[in-house]
Each structure stands twice: as structure tokens, then as C-alpha cells.
């Protein structure tokens, strides 16, 4: 492939969408760069409930937060997907479009250059490609939760659509970067490069390429028109800081010369802390199992239905004026998939718009070293109060 028009760093959901749009609609030649990873067992990619086995696997960056004062100084696992698909590669693949209020806020954040309707239309066009499907099976736990919330006010209980196909997990690479005859023309304009992106290569104030670490050593890849960083909330600011974009005080610690002084890089980090409420179910119910009997396996393989089509996070919805989202699973949230003789129900409570702001800093100038992630969960008193209301 000749020098590309664009370089897209990160083959997560955003990166795959950008590469496809640039190649398919504008005829651009694109290189998309993603970190190499050893593939997890195929069964964990196909069966929706087995996404939990992908956490801490070779496909997970397996980050850890700094000690959090509001959580008894505990450090938490911070999963981030590695490989094409990014974090969608290892999560439960829920399709949850923005609410009307979200769309208005997104429009405002663009200073109304994008109207709420334009954003809604863009999301609809994505749905036509991704085709998220409705649940093909719902556990007794899910049905009980939905029935219990029928009479509640100020809530929007729902079963979650998933990015599955006939009850199986669906690779984002398969959907966004297909290799069929219909996509042959534009797909040939996209090349996937496996490597760790160290930093951006500059020509004065213009980003023209990237420096990457591959199995063959350190290389530079240059573009005609520019570089798009789509490496997520951890990867993108880390690359910017190694490229000299950030706070001089932070960069100086690692011997990095400041090219652009921007103290916001690595700041304003917000994450949705999830806290489980766990119930033991009545004894007559069977526990949810990763390894069901052959009849259940056959039902899933032939029809794509039954317990094996469950993604665990089957349902939930928005509550308390959309300030709380719930995720309901037919499992013991803290011990699953360990075997158990009891059936369990977990309700995960999380804030939809937390106010507590954390930060991200480099631990060194070496791109192989994980960054320091300070989530600072529940630092804001209002977050703590809302979380308690969510529990209640």
C-alpha cells in the first residue's frame, strides 16, 4: 500500500467506523493501527455469557486504578479491549443509544454544528449496519425484574438489545470491516497494521504520521492528510502526552519536551462506577451455568436461543429521572462463574452522569508501561448521595 491518506490510531468501535466511512464514502486510503494480541478461545467470543472470560485475558489491557480514597483505598481492575473491536471485543455488547436529553447535550457540546436530529440520523445509519438484535431468551431473573418495575414511576425499564447475530456474539471486525464481495472495492483501501503507537510525528504544528513499535522494531508511518487518534479514554491522552501535548509539569517528569501546552490532556476523566446488589433466589430455580447440559447447547447451536444466548446483562433501564442505570443479571455478581447450587440475581447500580473527575498520567515515556489511572470515584458528595438513592 502506498502512503495512506489518513492514519487511524485504534481499531475500537470509533476507529472501525471512521476507517469504514473514510474508505467507503470518500474513497480514502486508510491505515488503521491496533495493538497485537493473542486471540482468546473462540468459544468465549461466540457464546454471549462468556464475555466475562475475556476480562483479564490476552485481549484485555488489564489496567488497574490507583488507590481510591472513597473506596477504602482499593485499586480496581480497569478492563480495556485489545485487538480489533477494542473494548467492544470484550464487553457484553449492549446496544444503548443516547436518550433525547443526551442528544441535546451532544448537540450543545458541538456548539450546535450538529443538531440533535443529525446525530439521531447518524446513529440510525449505524443501526442499519450493526443490526442489533432483541434478546432471544430471557431468564426468570430478567422477567421478574421487568414485572416488578411495571408499576414504578420515573423509570424506563427495558431489555437491552445486543450486537449479536442469531444469539451469537458478533465481531466488530466482521461488521465494520467485512471481507465480502460487496465491500471488496472500498475494503481494499483499508490496511490494518499491528503495533503499539508510541507518539505522533510532527511537521511544525501539523501531525503527519506516527511512530509505532512492531514485532520488527520501531517504524514511522506517514500520511498525506493527517492522523486521527481513536485510541479511547486511556490510549489517546497517553499518546498525546508522549507526543509533547499536555501539561509541561507532567511531561518534564519523563523528559518529554512540550510541543503544545494543554493542561486538560489527561484531566476530566469520568467513569461509571457500578455497585452490585445481590439476592439469592428461591430454591426451585436452577443456577445459571457456563457449562449447561447438551440439550441447552444444541438449542443454542441450532436455533440461537436458550440460556446460552444470554449476555448476562439482559435488562435494566434508566431510573430516578435518568440519573441511575441498572443492569440485571441471573448470577452472583462477585463470584460468577464459580459453580453454585443456588440461583442468584444481581442488580448493578451505576450513575449515568458522575460528577467526580479523575485523571490520567504517564508512568514513564515508555509506551509499554501502563499509565497511572486515578478514577477518584465518589469524590463528589452528590455522586455518593445519588448512588445511595440508587441502592434504595
Assess contact for 254 and 35: CB atoms under 8 A: no
In the prediction, which pLDDT does 1 show?
Answer: 55
Question: What would you measure as the largest C-alpha separation in the chain, in angstroms?
Answer: 70
165 phi and psi angles, rounded to 5 deg:
-135, 115
DSSP H helical ranges for the chain = 13-26, 42-46, 100-109, 116-130, 140-148, 172-176, 184-187, 232-242, 248-252, 294-303, 381-391
178 phi and psi angles, rounded to 5 deg:
-70, 160
Total count of residues recorded for the chain: 392
Give the list of residues 6+ apart from residue 31 with CB closer than 8 angstroms, or none: 1, 4, 6, 7, 8, 190, 191, 192, 193, 221, 223
Tell me, what DSSP letter sits at residue 334? T
Q: Strand 164-165 to strand 190-194: parallel, antiparallel, or no bridges (unpaired)?
A: unpaired
Following DSSP, what letter does each residue of 26-91 receive, concatenated?
A: H---EEEEE---PPPPHHHHHSGGGGGGGTTSTTB--EEBPPBGGGTTB--EE--B-STTGGGGTS
- What predicted TM-score, i.e. pTM, was given to this entire model? 0.94
Say whether 274 sits in a helix, a strand or coil.
strand
* Separation CA 351–CA 271 (nearest Å): 9
Q: Compute the CA torsion angle 100, 131, 165, 305 (nearest 10 deg).
A: 60
Compute CA 339 distance to the chain's CA centroid, rounded to the nearest angstrom: 28
What separation, in Å, do the N-terminal and C-terminal C-alpha atoms of the chain show?
A: 58
In the prediction, which pLDDT does 364 show?
Answer: 97
Assess contact for 315 and 345: CB atoms under 8 A: no
Assess contact for 80 and 234: CB atoms under 8 A: yes
User: Which ranges of the chain have pLDDT less than 70?
Assistant: 1
Q: Cβ-count burial of 133 within 10 angstroms (0-12 exposed, 13-18 middle, 19+ buried)? A: middle
* Separation CA 143–CA 314 (nearest Å): 10
In the prediction, which pLDDT does 291 show?
Answer: 78
In the prediction, which pLDDT does 179 show?
Answer: 82
Q: 19-23: long-range contacts at Cβ-Cβ below 8 A with a sequence spacing of 24 or more?
A: 19/176, 19/177, 19/190, 20/176, 20/177, 20/186, 20/190, 23/186, 23/187, 23/189, 23/190
Give the list of residues 6+ apart from residue 377 with CB closer than 8 angstroms, or none: 68, 70, 71, 76, 271, 273, 354, 356, 358, 383
Report CA torsion sign: 241, 244, 250, 254.
positive
For 162-184, give one letter per residue: b (16+ CB within 10 A) or e. bbbbebbbbbbbebbbeeeeeee
Amino acid at each position: 500500500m502506498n502512503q495512506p491518506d489518513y492514519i487511524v490510531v485504534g481499531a475500537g468501535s470509533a476507529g472501525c467506523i471512521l476507517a469504514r466511512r473514510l474508505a467507503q464514502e470518500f474513497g480514502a486510503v486508510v491505515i488503521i493501527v491496533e495493538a497485537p494480541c493473542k486471540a482468546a478461545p473462540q468459544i468465549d467470543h461466540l457464546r454471549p455469557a462468556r464475555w466475562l472470560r475475556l476480562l483479564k485475558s490476552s485481549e484485555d489491557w488489564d489496567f488497574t486504578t490507583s488507590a481510591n480514597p472513597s473506596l477504602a483505598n482499593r485499586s480496581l481492575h480497569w478492563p480495556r479491549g485489545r485487538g480489533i473491536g477494542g473494548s467492544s471485543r470484550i464487553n457484553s455488547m449492549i446496544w444503548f443509544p443516547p436518550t433525547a436529553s443526551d442528544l441535546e447535550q451532544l448537540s450543545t457540546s458541538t456548539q450546535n454544528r450538529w443538531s440533535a436530529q443529525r446525530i439521531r440520523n447518524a446513529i440510525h445509519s449505524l443501526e442499519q449496519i450493526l443490526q442489533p438484535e432483541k434478546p432471544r431468551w430471557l431468564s426468570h431473573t430478567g422477567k421478574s425484574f421487568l414485572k416488578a418495575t411495571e408499576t414504578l414511576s420515573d423509570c424506563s425499564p427495558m431489555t437491552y438489545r445486543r450486537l449479536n447475530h442469531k444469539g451469537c456474539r458478533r465481531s466488530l471486525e466482521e461488521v465494520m470491516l467485512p471481507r465480502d464481495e460487496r465491500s471488496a472495492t472500498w475494503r481494499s483501501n483499508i490496511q490494518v497494521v499491528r503495533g503499539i503507537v508510541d507518539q505522533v510525528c510532527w511537521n511544525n504544528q501539523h501531525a503527519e504520521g506516527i511512530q509505532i513499535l512492531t514485532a520488527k522494531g520501531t517504524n514511522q508511518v506517514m500520511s498525506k492528510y493527517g492522523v486521527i487518534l481513536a485510541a479511547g479514554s486511556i490510549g489517546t491522552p497517553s499518546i498525546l502526552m508522549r507526543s509533547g501535548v499536555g501539561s509541561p509539569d507532567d511531561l518534564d517528569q519523563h523528559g518529554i519536551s512540550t510541543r503544545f501546552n494543554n493542561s486538560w490532556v489527561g484531566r476530566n476523566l469520568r467513569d461509571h462506577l457500578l455497585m452490585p446488589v445481590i439476592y439469592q433466589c428461591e430454591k426451585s430455580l436452577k443456577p445459571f451455568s457456563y457449562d449447561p447440559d447438551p440439550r441447552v447447547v444444541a438449542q443454542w447451536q441450532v436455533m440461537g436461543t436458550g440460556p446460552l444466548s444470554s449476555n448476562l446483562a439482559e435488562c435494566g433501564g434508566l431510573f430516578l429521572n435518568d440519573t441511575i442505570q441498572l443492569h440485571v443479571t441471573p448470577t452472583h455478581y462477585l463470584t460468577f462463574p464459580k459453580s453454585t447450587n443456588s440461583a442468584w440475581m444481581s442488580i448493578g447500580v451505576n450513575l449515568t452522569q458522575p460528577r467526580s473527575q479523575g485523571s490520567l498520567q504517564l508512568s514513564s515515556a515508555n509506551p509499554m508501561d501502563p499509565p497511572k489511572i486515578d478514577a477518584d470515584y465518589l469524590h463528589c458528595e452528590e455522586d455518593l448521595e445519588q448512588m445511595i438513592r440508587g441502592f434504595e
